[in-house]
Amino acid sequence: MDEKKTAWERLQLIHTKGRPTIKDYIPQIFTDWYEMHGDRLFGDDRAIIGGIARLDGEPVTIIAEVKGRDINENKTCNFAMPHPEGYRKALRIARQAEKFHRPIICFIDTPGAFCGVAAEERGQGEAIAKNIAEFMTLRTPIISIVLGEGGSGGALALGVCDELAMLENAEYSVLSPRGFASILWKDASREQEASELMKITAEDMVRLGVAEAIIEEPLGGAHNDLDKISENIHEYLSQKIPEKCKKDIDVLLKERYTKFRKIGAFSE
């Protein structure tokens, strides 16, 4: 593990060109990957992919936000900013996983849900709300991993789970530090200051009870050794998935609810 970096340094790191995306990880960690398309309502959002594969020989459902590795991929996946149909596709595929008793693995990697006219017209708020509520009671184990950026409601829509893991340099936040600075101080240029105040690192997430695990990255960051980081993610999943699958489903659901239920700071 690297010596301690600031939140701002980690943000630069996860934006390094060549940082692995879900498209790099799938062939490294899983076998028999079959991608499924479309929400059956409107279309197929390429910012979120979903499908079936095997983890250590056992069928699993994968749902993931997709960052592009170059400009063409980024155009296709809209820079990993999903529209409502992306979240609805995720829910459709998650319900199938529940039906066929497959555990779900969500990979989060988004600056946030897309902010645009069409997204509003098709109910971005409703789509995210629905996923959050439905994932809370899906009767199958769910593990979520933040690969890089975990931006806001767009991340949470794939983040209601039994256990959340963060890659060592990944961040999870209510809003991008830039957006945060612009809302709170009306000055987007103060994003570095915001990033330090916001408590967005993997360690912060564990301390605040938002995440349960940190997956170590190779020295200098995930892009320096794809085999090693894939192995670390694989190892984590190989341990966690069977552990969660063994649990009684009603106990698991109660624990899932409690995981979120207890987050908050107040006095009475």
Which residues of this chain interact with other proteins, rule CB under 8 A? 113, 115-117, 119-126, 128-130, 132-134, 136-137, 152-153, 156, 159-160, 172-175, 179-180, 183-184, 197-200, 204-205, 208, 210, 257, 260-261, 263-268
What is the C-alpha separation between 43 and 193, in angstroms, rounded?
40
Give yes or no for a contact between 162 and 121, defined as CB atoms under 8 angstroms apart: no
CB of 116 to other proteins, least distance (A): 6
Give the closest residue to 262 by CA, choosing from 200, 210, 204: 210
Phi, psi of 135, deg, nearest 5: -60, -30
- Closest to other proteins by CB, 92 or 130: 130
CB of 153 to other proteins, least distance (A): 4
- Closest to other proteins by CB, 27 or 125: 125
Q: What SS3 state is found at 172?
A: strand
What is the C-alpha separation between 140 and 244, in angstroms, rounded?
9
- Closest to other proteins by CB, 55 or 138: 138
Contacts of 268 (CB under 8 A, 6+ apart): none
- Closest to other proteins by CB, 123 or 242: 123
CB of 24 to other proteins, least distance (A): 27
- Closest to other proteins by CB, 205 or 233: 205
CB of 230 to other proteins, least distance (A): 27
Strands 31-36 and 142-151: unpaired
Q: Which run of H or of E encompasses 80?
A: none
CB of 41 to other proteins, least distance (A): 12
CA 172 remoteness from chain centre: 9
CB of 119 to other proteins, least distance (A): 7
- Closest to other proteins by CB, 20 or 159: 159
The b-or-e profile of 206-229 (16+ CB within 10 A means b, else e) is beeebbbbbbbbbeebbbebbeeb
